Amino acid sequence: MEGRGPASGSASRRWVRQGGGKEMDFLILFLIYLAVSFSCMVIVIKFSRQSQECFARISHHVTRMIGPVVPRWLQIAVQYALYRLIHQRNSFFLVLHLMLEVAVYGEYSWDVFPYSLELGFTLSILLLPYILLLGKMYFFYLCCTSDPGIISPSNHKQLVKVYTYDGILYQRACVCSTCKLVKPARSKHCRVCGCCVHRFDHHCVWVNNCIGALNIRYFLFYLFTLLGMTAAVGTVTVRFLVQVALMSNLPQAMYVNTKGEHVPVGVLFIVQKLFLTFPRILFMLGFTLLSFFLLVGYTAFHLFLVMTNQTSNEWYKHKINCRCHMDNSCPDRQIWRNLYHRGLVTNMKEIICPVTPQKRSR
């Protein structure tokens, strides 16, 4: 690993004797990168769940801030671009998704894989991220191309019979103003796709498609494989960096502080050294770990929805209903009870084998 491989023990000891003043700047920049990346990913995930509402709030605040200093024509151009990006189907986030994966796997293949192979890592461990990538791409393709459960005049009469109306979130004889059809219970009109979707969960910008009754199982497998990918890449990368630190004797190294005392290096010094030696790997690892923790929360949320037989749309409406119930001045105070929760096993079967009128009549 000449030229770009792990540093030797003597080189590491020479480095730590020089102190950490300049290197601390790199660590600060790296922490800023992690903070900014984490904030952006949280915003994007929240934004993708309730895009229209979030877009309206962000657009309003941004317009108020930049209005006095930005020309009117530029404001109109930005608002139009954001409208096209959020309110109409497009492949921007889909392409961004693939570009991020190419960047992560490019760095993994270019640096982490060959270095780890030289250090004696088993081939099965190193190939696991690629196997999970193939599985993820399969379910990603199904999420992008499969029918989420679009309600049309030909299947409308059958889908109306699948779920009962609860009288709170779903009212009888409620007609979609766009599709001109009575909305079946648990359905919703997607303004992005321009159609009503059976058992509507949410519109996912990352797959450029709605998630509904017929493709929710593909979406869950997509989340599981994506989570496994980040876990596998992160685990191999961390093991590689730990092995490099041990081979370079960094935990036993010393440095001279401002008082002239020999002090053992800490974790921050080791991270700084690894960052200076493998900057691309550390940036890739930071993004991967952030993605992993966010995906853990997002996947756990959808597992909770599966176990309780709720959709993201129902969970969001239920939150609003609870706030209204706590407000004594609200004229529409009603307690919502989930009529669709029929036990864990039945709920999971409904996801794997979506309910149809034929199955319900048996």
Q: CA dist 257 to 128, 187, 263, Å?
A: 43, 65, 7
Contact at 8 Å (CB) between 200 and 188? Answer: yes
C-alpha to C-alpha distance for 159 and 350, rounded to whole angstroms: 15
Neighbours of 191 (CB within 10 A): 14
Q: Which of 179, 196, 204, 210 is catalytic?
A: 204
Q: Is 195 helix (H, G, I), strand (E, B) or coil?
A: strand
Contact at 8 Å (CB) between 214 and 189? Answer: no
Nearest residue to 271 (alpha-carbon basis) of 242, 307, 228, 311: 242
| 174 classed as catalytic | no
Q: Is 354 helix (H, G, I), strand (E, B) or coil?
A: coil
Element at 264 (helix H, strand E): strand 262-264
- Angle formed at CA 88 by CA 86 and CA 91, multiple of 5 degrees: 80
Active site members: 204
